[in-house]
């Protein structure tokens, strides 16, 4: 019974969260003119009387940034009734169907072309008095509804009411407007029932099990289940349910995050947003490299025998939950198309329904293991674990490496090299951790070796992984610009480097990333030029040998006013000499008198 308490408590927590949001579904309308805002993107609407082709009516003037858009057609909107709609009502007037402008195409995250309205545009609602004579002044209420999205995120669906008072007696002088389209009826979109959409969420979770990122984890768990089948049926089922609970806990965390974003910040969780964060991509790629090495048997993770003997049962449940959670985390790199669609539909629903949909994705992913562990007897008829299983596990490690490389290539170009170098160093450290020691290695020696491996990993990570922000506004190599600056007696510093040169990268981090040197260069009016010699046929590479007679990189060349020969700084340890040379230069204002 004690083994089941953690699982029971986690399930109770999930149910408590769901019950807390049962009544948090409705969004209270406000009388604001701002319809949507996300980061730097925004859109608002104002209403004013106008005439279109001599017909009086109400013009809805939308003003916003180009990236924030509304859906123009119900067929391509993410859910029924989420295309942009505008309706008017008044006791004194009848209103015809809204006339929308010409839409334009927009390519969404999945590469689909959709019809949208964005930027500045006008929607017109024709009107006529309900009786004659019409009142001189009357109140009108406009309801605008839909959903606004940017290329990064979709916001909550909105339904705003805006009121105005018009002077009908003056309608002949209302401003005349033109639109680029005729009135086209908004046909009703195909409506998917909850009982159709929720099984789709379950199916999306089920499909995650065959994703390349998740597939390598399955043999580990299945082989574990083989072993558990030798024990009692109850324990086999309990450990299988613990694995499933780990999967569901991951999606429960996503659901809770979605609740916080929607209630606290008025936005929604978009599947794929985490991949716009380089830190997440780096962490995932390195995790996949480490798991690949684990598949190859380079290292193993062992629990100290004292702990295992004292709390073996709990270790089994905790390990199963952790393995399930890891499987769900690993599903994220390979599941963009599937989960973006599922999450996109969920975000257009009420808070309670969207939470249920997100949780069903986790249940769908966990369901095969629930079935598998409920029939431990059937596992006895499956092939026995042996050499084939080990080779299969190692071959799946190469799949993890391919996914890791793919993730690295998603990074900004200037961060790919550092991540790849660190992945190699991390692999070496994991090899030290697992391959340089055995069960018979003395504890003191084992502690020394693993401490060295950990120190190398931490130091290399601090060196290679942080994004380097250049404090110097380097200009591209241009021989004419250098000649012009020298003719004007302006100091010029040329840093010759190459992408394949590790020493060059070290110079960038130890010398040109120092604030003292960057400040000196700016204060002294030094023109910074970066000569990229990565390719042999580049102008910088050719001039490095032909003009400056230098055999290789890194080298920095400083031209001083009034001197024909420049100062040259070779190698890695140039910071002190360069700083002294810069300090000896006159200030930028004094140089103008040369």
| Digit-coded pLDDT (tens) for 4-41 | 555 555 555 555 444 444 444 433 333 447 888 877 78
Residue 151 pLDDT > 80: no
Among 167, 159, 182, 20, CA closest to 96: 182
Among 242, 317, 290, CA closest to 400: 290
Structure tokens of 326? 């890891």
Q: What is the model's pLDDT at position 317?
A: 75
Report how far Cα 145 is from the mean position of its chain's Cα atoms. 28
Which residues, in sequence order, are bridge partners of residue 144?
86, 160
Q: What is the model's pLDDT at position 337?
A: 56
Among 122, 118, 125, CA closest to 66: 118
Among 405, 250, 397, CA closest to 323: 250
Among 116, 84, 81, CA closest to 99: 84
Total residues belonging to the chain: 594
Verify cis geometry, omega within 30 degrees of 0, for the bond prior to 267.
no
Give SS3 for 270.
coil
Please tell me the least confidently modeled range out of 153-162, 376-385, 564-573: 376-385
Structure tokens of 299? 């290292």
Q: What is the model's pLDDT at position 562?
A: 81
Pairing of strands 158-167, 137-146: antiparallel
Q: How confident is the model at residue 67 (pLDDT cuts 50, 70, 90)?
A: confident
Residue 219 pLDDT > 90: no
Listed in sequence order, the DSSP H helices in 411-442 are 413-435
Mean pLDDT for 528-543 is 92
DSSP character for 56? E
Mean pLDDT for 177-192 is 49
More confident residue, 531 or 106: 531
Tens-place pLDDT, residues 544-559: 999 999 988 999 999 9
What sign results for the dihedral spanned by CA atoms 275, 398, 413, 517? positive
Among 178, 6, 188, CA closest to 81: 188
Q: Mean pLDDT of all residues in the chain? A: 78
Tens-place pLDDT, residues 81-115: 788 999 999 988 889 889 898 888 887 655 567 88
Please tell me the least confidently modeled range out of 40-49, 406-415, 470-479, 511-520: 406-415
Q: How confident is the model at residue 156 (pLDDT cuts 50, 70, 90)?
A: confident
């Amino acid at each position: 019974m004690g083994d089941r308490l953690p699982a029971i408590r986690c399930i109770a927590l999930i149910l408590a969260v769901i019950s807390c949001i049962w009544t948090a579904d409705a969004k209270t309308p406000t009388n604001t003119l701002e319809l949507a805002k996300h980061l730097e993107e925004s859109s608002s609407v104002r209403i004013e009387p106008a005439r279109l082709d001599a017909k009086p009516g109400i013009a809805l003037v939308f003003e916003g940034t180009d990236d924030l858009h509304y859906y123009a057609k119900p067929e391509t909107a993410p859910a029924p009734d989420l295309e942009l709609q505008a309706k008017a009502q008044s006791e004194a007037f009848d209103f015809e169907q809204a006339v929308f402008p010409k839409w334009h195409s927009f390519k969404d995250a999945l590469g689909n072309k959709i019809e949208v309205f964005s930027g500045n545009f006008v929607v017109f609602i024709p009107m006529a008095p309900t009786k004659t004579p019409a009142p001189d002044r009357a109140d009108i209420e406009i309801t605008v509804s839909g959903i606004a999205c940017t290329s990064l995120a979709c916001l909550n669906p909105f339904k705003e009411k805006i009121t105005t008072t018009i002077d009908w007696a003056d309608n002949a002088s209302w401003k005349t407007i033109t639109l680029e389209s005729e009135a086209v009826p908004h046909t009703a979109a195909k409506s998917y029932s909850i009982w159709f959409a929720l099984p789709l969420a379950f199916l999306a979770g089920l499909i995650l099990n065959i994703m390349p990122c998740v597939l390598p984890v399955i043999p580990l768990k299945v082989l574990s289940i083989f072993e558990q089948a030798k024990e009692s049926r109850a324990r086999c089922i309990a450990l299988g349910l613990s694995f499933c609970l780990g999967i569901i806990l991951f999606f429960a965390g996503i659901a809770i995050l979605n609740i916080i974003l929607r209630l606290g910040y008025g936005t929604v969780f978009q599947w794929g947003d985490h991949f716009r964060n380089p830190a997440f991509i780096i962490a995932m790629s390195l995790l996949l490299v480490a798991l690949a090495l684990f598949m190859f048997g380079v290292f193993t993770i062992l629990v100290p025998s004292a702990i295992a003997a004292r709390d073996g049962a709990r270790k089994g449940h905790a390990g199963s939950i952790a393995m399930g959670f890891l499987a769900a985390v690993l599903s994220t790199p390979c599941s963009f198309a599937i989960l973006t669609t599922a999450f996109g539909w969920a975000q257009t629903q009420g808070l309670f329904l969207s939470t249920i949909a997100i949780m069903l994705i986790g249940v769908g992913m966990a369901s095969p293991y629930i079935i598998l562990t409920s029939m431990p007897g059937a596992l006895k008829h499956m092939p026995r674990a042996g050499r084939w299983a080990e080779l299969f596990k190692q071959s799946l490690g190469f799949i993890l490496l391919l996914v890791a490389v793919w993730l690295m290539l998603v990074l900004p170009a200037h961060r790919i090299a550092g991540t790849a170098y660190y992945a190699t160093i991390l692999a070496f450290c994991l090899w030290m951790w697992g391959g340089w020691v055995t069960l018979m290695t003395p504890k003191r020696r084992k502690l020394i070796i693993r401490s060295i491996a950990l120190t190398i990993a931490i130091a290399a990570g601090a060196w290679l992984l942080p994004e380097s922000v250049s404090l110097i506004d380097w200009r591209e190599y241009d021989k004419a610009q250098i000649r012009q600056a020298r003719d004007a007696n302006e100091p010029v510093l040329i840093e010759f480097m190459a992408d394949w040169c590790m020493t060059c990268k070290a110079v960038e981090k130890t010398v040109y990333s120092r604030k003292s040197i960057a400040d000196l260069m700016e204060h002294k009016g030094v023109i910074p030029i970066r000569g990229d010699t990565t390719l042999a046929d580049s102008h910088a590479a050719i001039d490095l040998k032909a003009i400056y007679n230098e055999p290789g990189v890194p080298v920095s060349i400083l031209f001083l006013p009034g001197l024909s020969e420049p100062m040259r700084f070779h190698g890695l340890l140039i910071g002190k000499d360069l700083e002294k040379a810069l300090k000896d230069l006159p200030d930028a204002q004094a140089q103008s008198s040369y």
